[in-house]
Amino acid sequence: MKNDIKSLFWDISLLYKNFVHWNISKLFIFLLWIISWFITIIPFALVFFIFSFFSDISFLTYIWALLNGTYTGSFLWDIIYFLSLWAFILWYFFNFVLLLKLNSSYISWEKLSYKKNEYLNYKLFLRYILLSLLLFIIFLIPILVSIFILGLIIWAFWWIAEVSVMVIDSPQNSFSIISLFIFILLCIVIFYLFYRFIFSYFFILDEDNKSKKLYNIIIYSFHKTSWFKRFLKFLLSMIIVYTIYLPFSIVSTYINWNYEDLNKYASYMNLKQEDKETLKQINSYEYNSLEMKYSWKDLLEIEKSQFRFYYASIIFSIFEFIVIFGVFSMFLTSFYNRNIRQ
């Protein structure tokens, strides 16, 4: 195991040894993601633009919902938003596949040409979409089973009253304990399925597998990850990688939380007194906490703090993209080459 950890860090170090090439390649991949997603959502945007003339919801509301991950409050518009979001996710993970190919070239002591990372390989993209659909169905099975079990428990023990109380007050009761246990078990199952099937994306990149049926590739991935000892090695390696990333995650969370709190408090300060009291009645804990945190600052100081955290979030995001983004994909690539592909 000690040698495996050394090999993992050696492979990750290859990213920084090819630092300039790695970041230029990431930039091309990032631009492909943004441009492709923008082109994909144009039909949805056109539909929304046309129907916005016959609705109280404006086109700008749709754009704002996409940029901020919020809903517009209308069933039709939310369907369009949901489809746009799925296009965003699918293109994002296709770029993850491109990163896998880039990382594999480093392990092979090569530098993949900027023009040869299959950005516009429509055959690969189609296989990626179909593979993702099949895997989505597989992952959906344990989720549906969990929902079915919870529904069966509610029906069998007639715990409708307990469920209603839990939704309102979230106290400790039999149903909440069982549902928590099922949720934890579901997370474990999904993580295990992630391990068993994530390497399917590596197999579709291999030249030898380009003619294979996708369900055969999924079965092959399941077969190649069968040893439990190998899974424990994967789990331990992932914990090590995430432990190293943890300080960066804490800094990112600190910046984002403070920026969001400052925005909420600035909006809160600009309200009338009766509107403030209404918000406190809706969520007394949040707004009392904000007052305790920022009441000693005037509005000018709040605005200055907003700008500081805003620029800090931009700088840290750039730092994450240049230094950290792509490390997890290299972890998967390293594990695949040294444990799965053999």
Give the pLDDT confidence of 139-148 residue by residue, as tens digits: 999 999 988 8
For the chain, give every domain's residue range.
Answer: 1-119, 121-226, 228-342
Task: Determine which of 7-11, 134-138, 139-143, 190-194 has the lowest per-residue pLDDT on average.
Answer: 7-11
Supply the DSSP string of 88-112, one letter for each residue: HHHHHHHHHHHHHHHHHHHHTT---
Model confidence pLDDT, tens digit, residues 303-335: 888 888 889 999 999 999 999 998 999 999 999
> How many angstroms separate the CA atoms of 105 and 11, rounded?
11
| Other beta carbons within 10 Å of 133 | 11
Q: Are 105 and 21 in contact (CB under 8 A)?
A: no
Q: Give the pLDDT of residue 173.
A: 57
Q: Are 321 and 26 in contact (CB under 8 A)?
A: yes
**What's the predicted TM-score (pTM) here?**
0.78
Q: Are 319 and 213 in contact (CB under 8 A)?
A: no
The continuous run of DSSP H or E covering 28 comes out as: helix 19-51
Structure tokens belonging to residue 280: 């406190």
Give the Cα-Cα-Cα angle 90, 94, 98 (nearest 5 degrees): 170
Q: What percent of the chain has pLDDT over 70?
A: 82
Mean pLDDT to the nearest integer, 270-275: 72
Q: Are 174 and 159 in contact (CB under 8 A)?
A: yes
Tell me the torsion sign for CA atoms 161, 162, 163, 164.
Answer: positive
> How many angstroms separate the CA atoms of 325 and 283, rounded?
36
Confidence of residue 40 (pLDDT cuts 50, 70, 90): confident
Model confidence pLDDT, tens digit, residues 80-111: 777 777 888 888 888 888 899 899 889 988 88
> How many angstroms separate the CA atoms of 93 and 89, rounded?
6
Q: Give the pLDDT of residue 342.
A: 66
pLDDT at 182 over 80: yes
> How many angstroms separate the CA atoms of 112 and 265, rounded?
48
Average pLDDT for the chain:
81
Task: Determine which of 135-144, 171-180, 285-294, 297-306 has the lowest per-residue pLDDT on average.
Answer: 171-180
Mean pLDDT to the nearest integer, 5-20: 90
Answer with the residue of higher pLDDT: 178 or 316: 316
On the 0-12 / 13-18 / 19+ scale of CB atoms within 10 A, 199 is buried
The answer for residues whose C-beta is within 8 angstroms of residue 326's C-beta and 6 or more apart is 15, 22, 26, 99, 102, 103
> How many angstroms separate the CA atoms of 70 and 64, rounded?
8
Distances (CA, A) of 291 to 280, 285, 288, 296, 303: 11, 10, 5, 8, 15
> How many angstroms separate the CA atoms of 40 and 60, rounded?
18
pLDDT at 175 over 60: yes
Top-confidence range, 40-44, 47-51, 173-177, 180-184: 180-184
Q: Give the pLDDT of residue 48.
A: 72
